[in-house]
Chain A
């Protein structure tokens, strides 16, 4: 079973929910795989502390032009919708960071002067902590496109009783890529106006993929019951509420798993795990 943990708004507790859920599942001797798909800023390792045992670069294909074979006909520039390859006079310029690797320039070149070469944009790392397998993508700095990296992380992951996908914040293409193909989505929110507004947006994104989803409220008790009312109206179940606690925030700041040191929090995560298992 693949469960994605997503949120819309950043900093609501995705990684906290994902890592604690993975940890209680591993404690219960289930086979667990954790995929950190927040490849711009992966933080799962801070809490799960895996021992790295494998690494692989993520590459995308970009064109390389053979200046001797090229007769500067300009068709490569015409087909490219992203201005990643441009023919100016007797010169072909390639802008690799704009390239979407569609292969169009290579296909269209009548002289076969274009070959595709790999360009590294990120690293996928794997590790283990006890019986838990950990995978993360790490986007190179100044690279803009995370979806290919998220795809690479998901492609490397083995099957397991529980696969947890820690998704990036937001509602755009990276989230979509992380959540796609999952059986279940947990949307983590906080009961503030920002949290509620972004929950609504995230819900739209998840529902566009027709994946069943449920809500986890973090820092519950901050502000009335607007979030619960919203979920009731939308027919979405609130499956867990974690209290707003300075103690939890401090443990988080030190990179500690709340479930490990706090039996109450551990019980909450255990029942969340049971709920997820029962509902699929």
Chain B
């Protein structure tokens, strides 16, 4: 089974539009929306829910006020300012609490419990483009990295059950824990960039991240014609860092129109950006094949 991860460093470069198009172009694939803070893929693929599941993210401390003697040891020991003392009662700020359990361990009255908490939900859905796993982290939810790992496991399970040999993962922007969780163990990481100085700066950092985790990375330059000079600079720079170019996609208002109509770009039209994306997809297939050859030779 192959896992293709699409990430970007900088946000808003077009990850989700590309993933939806790839899903249309791939004959069979399982989709995993791992941008769990702001999951948007379901808006394009119009999913119908198969199962809804709780995401048990982490733990939080809970003070039993009947047992609490207001000694204040918990407040002294908590490094996250999560204990709120209000005249004579103590309680836990669930947003600030990291669930480290120090307060519970040292409470002399055994008045603090560490309880599992639901930090969101994850879903298995059917879509016209194949099965999809996705999630919704609660507002201010924690443990997005853990949720990403869970979604990836579930996506592989769904693929195994249905004999599908490709998982396409829509990742989060940035280089933090959800991104790290989405790229570890992936067969190929596709980094979507845009030809802006911000894009260039973020591209470098995200490629370095993929190299750190020894993932194979390639880049696609989206809206390359906004600034062709920077596009070329980005391609050269990425090459130097060890990420080759899979293709370029032109700026095309049809990309936004497709999103508004709830279609992938390649379902919406066949020329312009859609043609570019199709070519990118074909090049990706080739990259996968070469990788396979390389692995079997080694």
A: which residues have CB within 8 A of B?
A: 7-12, 15, 38, 40-41, 43, 46, 79, 81-82, 100-104, 107-108, 139, 141-146, 168-176, 192-194, 197-198, 201-202, 204-205, 207-209, 222-223, 246, 249-250, 252-255
Once the chains are docked, how many angstroms separate the CA of A7 from the CA of B40? 14
Once the chains are docked, how many angstroms separate the CA of A193 from the CA of B230? 29
Docked-complex contact B226 and A250, CB < 8 angstroms: yes
Docked-complex contact B176 and A171, CB < 8 angstroms: no
Residues of A with C-beta under 8 A to B71: none
Residues of B with C-beta under 8 A to A38: 174
Docked-complex contact A192 and B209, CB < 8 angstroms: no
13 CB-based A-B contacts, threshold 8 Å: A10-B11, A40-B179, A46-B201, A102-B98, A142-B209, A168-B174, A170-B38, A170-B174, A193-B259, A193-B260, A222-B256, A252-B196, A254-B196
Nearest B residue to A8 via CB reads: B38
Docked-complex contact B175 and A139, CB < 8 angstroms: yes
Partner of B230, one of A142, A144, A192, A253: A253
- Chain B interface: which size bin? 35 or more
Docked-complex contact A46 and B198, CB < 8 angstroms: yes
Task: Write the B77-92 contact mask toward A (1 if CB under 8 angstroms, else 0).
Answer: 1011000000000000
A81-B101, A101-B79, A172-B137 are known contacts. Are A145 and B176 too (CB-CB below 8 A)?
yes
Docked-complex contact A41 and B201, CB < 8 angstroms: yes
Partner of B145, one of A11, A103, A144: A144
Tally the A-B contacts, defined by beta carbons under 8 Å. 187
Docked-complex contact A253 and B197, CB < 8 angstroms: yes
B: which residues have CB within 8 A of A?
A: 8-13, 16, 36-38, 40, 43, 58-59, 77, 79-80, 95, 98-102, 105-106, 114, 137, 139-142, 144-145, 172-180, 194-199, 201-202, 205-206, 208-209, 212-213, 226-227, 230, 251, 256, 259-260, 262
In the assembled complex, the CB of A248 is this many whole angstroms from the nearest CB of chain B, namely 11
In the assembled complex, the CB of A257 is this many whole angstroms from the nearest CB of chain B, namely 12
Apart from A9-B38, A103-B77, A202-B38, list 14 A-B contacts with CB within 8 A: A8-B37, A11-B10, A11-B11, A43-B197, A46-B201, A79-B105, A82-B100, A104-B100, A172-B37, A197-B40, A201-B139, A208-B139, A250-B227, A253-B227
Docked-complex contact B12 and A11, CB < 8 angstroms: yes
Nearest A residue to B78 via CB reads: A102
In the assembled complex, the CB of B266 is this many whole angstroms from the nearest CB of chain A, namely 17
Once the chains are docked, how many angstroms separate the CA of A68 from the CA of B59? 33
Docked-complex contact A107 and B102, CB < 8 angstroms: yes
Docked-complex contact B38 and A201, CB < 8 angstroms: yes
Docked-complex contact B226 and A11, CB < 8 angstroms: no
In the assembled complex, the CB of B237 is this many whole angstroms from the nearest CB of chain A, namely 15
